[in-house]
Amino acid sequence: MDIYNYIDGEFTLPISGNMLDNLNPATGQIIARIPDSNNDDVATAAEAAKLALPSWRGLTKGERINWLNKIAQALEERSEDIAKTESMDTGKPIALARRVDAARSISNFRFFAKHAEQLTENKFTMADATNYVIRKPVGVVGLITPWNLPLYLLSWKVAPALVMGNTIVAKPSEMTPMTANLLAKTLDDLDFPKGVVNIVHGLGPSTGQAILEHPEISAISFTGGTETGKIVAKTAGPMFKKLSLELGGKNATIILDDADLETAATGAAKAAFTNSGQVCLCGSRVLIDAKIYDAFVPKFIDAVAAMKVGNPDDESTDIGSVISQQHMEKVLSYIELAKQEGGTIAHGGQRIIPNHASLQNGSFISPTVIENLSISSRCATEEIFGPVVTLHKFDSDLAAIEMTNSTQYGLAGSIWTSDTARGKQLAKQIDSGILWVNTWLHRDLRTPFGGVKNSGVGREGGDWSLNFFSELSNICVKDD
């Protein structure tokens, strides 16, 4: 299957004609070819987006909300196709792709349609004048997204950008282009206005970089790794583009001495290994009060051992493959490093070749639990972004806070306790954008989402997304 760019409402080959292979990481098979787009393709997309801007921003907010609802409805009609495609492109279990990827991609459009309805204009009255704060679109916006939650994260940006009247040049990850293509097909089937959403496929340093550098693209919303985030900031910052950076994490799961150990063990296992540990919010370090360490760890390992690894097509699979063979090698090299750093493997620790003919070249890793590593070791501080978790003991709540705050990251974390007030108090002292108490990945889309330190700049979600994708102007009118 060949995937084309979607520019100005047309599916087009890249100008160079060059294509890249796209693989299913569970089978190692090539499943599609995608455009290897360059500056010229991005320039064509940016021009289309620029030309489409006046009419799109000229629609009423209500008309744009109607479009979002139509897109949600059309995506819902192909939700099984989205789930199957996402599972094939990423190697994630079909049940997870249905429950999370397909469901959330649809709800992102519905949510922002509804959330935009409640936006009101601020008005500030003076003795002799009135200030009207109005919103305008930013203009043409560049959206760059990663491979772990492909359509989920793309739609999380596309929906608020559209509802605020912007036009779009988007680049999905070169490793997971297929559901962005489904979105393009959905828009095309709906006769969505041409040029409003343009999807350009290709590699980060060429296609992505061209989006960052294009002078007509006024804002960049980027989700991806911290190192790439630095390049994004370095390129777009001096051009004074509006920037949103959602970057990496090394999140802690904290088990306090009064936690319900069964609930905490199940919760910590889910936080560590959902999507093979490839969610930026995954809890890849579990910090456990020393008083309950010996009681907690066997329960945790039991919960991990109960997770079924293997065929993504099997409805009962909990953990599929990681995103690529290269990524598998990286994750396995961290497991080797952990041993060199003095860690002991309490569970897993190796590649798995499932007992299924088509999966012999797949990139599967058993969920891996590592004990006895220093909290400052590389494996406990660097983002591995795979099914690997390290366990650490702490002696006091203060020590837990210090350990949690000791990395360069500050994205998310969870605290498990039977005293929610204590959990909330501790959460306030952690340098992170998102903290959960006795739950994980429990999302209300109205809340702010984003990280501190090297986990990012800015917030997405609810009003924060609508603010990012709009420019505020104050009009001060002197009374007659």
Q: Is 461 in the site for ligand NAD (CB under 6 A)?
A: no
Q: Rule CB under 6 A: choose which of 386, 387, 456, 461 binds ligand NAD.
A: 456
CB nearest ligand NAD: which residue? 204
Which among 47, 280, 379, 383 is annotated as catalytic?
280
Q: Is 262 a catalytic residue?
A: no
**Near ligand NAD by CB under 6 A, which window of 146-154, 305-313, 354-362, 434-442?**
146-154
Angle at 380 between CA 322 and CA 294, to 5 degrees: 100
Amino acid sitting at position 141 = V
Close Cβ partners of 175 (under 8 Å, ≥ 6 residues apart): 22, 23, 89, 147, 323, 324
Number of C-beta neighbours around residue 374 at 10 A: 14
**59 or 203: CB nearest ligand NAD:** 203
Q: Is 246 a catalytic residue?
A: yes
DSSP assignments along 47-82, one per residue = HHHHHHHHHHHHS-HHHHHHHHHHHHHHHHHTHHHH
DSSP assignments along 378-436, one per residue = HHHHS---SSEEEEEEESSHHHHHHHHTTSSEESEEEEE-S-HHHHHHHHHTS--SEEE
Q: How far is the CB of 148 from ligand NAD (least distance, A)?
A: 5
Q: What's the start-to-end Cα distance of the chain, in Å? A: 66
Pick out residues in 280-299 that bind ligand NAD (CB under 6 A). Answer: 280
Q: Is 248 in the site for ligand NAD (CB under 6 A)?
A: yes
Residue 238 structure tokens: 């001096």
Pairing between strand 283-289 and 388-394? parallel
Q: Is 45 in the site for ligand NAD (CB under 6 A)?
A: no
The binding track of 392-431 with respect to ligand NAD, each residue x by CB under 6 A or -, is -------------------x--------------------
Q: Rule CB under 6 A: choose which of 107, 228, 321, 366 binds ligand NAD.
A: 228
Q: Is 147 in the site for ligand NAD (CB under 6 A)?
A: yes
Q: Rule CB under 6 A: choose which of 244, 383, 423, 459 binds ligand NAD.
A: 383
Using an 8 Å Cβ cutoff, are 27 and 36 in contact?
no
> 35: number of CA atoms within 13 Å, CB side?
27
Q: How far is the CB of 409 from ligand NAD (least distance, A)?
A: 9
> 71: number of CA atoms within 13 Å, CB side?
30
Number of residues that bind ligand NAD (CB under 6 A): 31
Pick out residues in 179-218 that bind ligand NAD (CB under 6 A). Answer: 203-205, 208-209, 212
The binding track of 106-145 with respect to ligand NAD, each residue x by CB under 6 A or -, is --------------------------------------xx
**Near ligand NAD by CB under 6 A, which window of 81-89, 188-196, 243-251, 328-336?**
243-251
Rg (CA), the chain: 23
Q: How far is the CB of 347 from ligand NAD (least distance, A)?
A: 23
User: What gap in Å lies between CA 357 and CA 27, rounded to an integer?
Assistant: 9
**Near ligand NAD by CB under 6 A, which window of 22-30, 133-141, 228-236, 435-443?**
228-236
Q: Is 340 exposed, middle or buried (0-12, 13-18, 19+ CB in 10 A)?
A: exposed
Residues of the shown chain interacting with ligand NAD in the complex, contacts defined by CB under 6 A: 144-148, 153, 171, 173-174, 203-205, 208-209, 212, 223-225, 228, 231-232, 246-249, 280, 383, 385, 411, 451, 456
Which amino acids are annotated catalytic? 246, 280
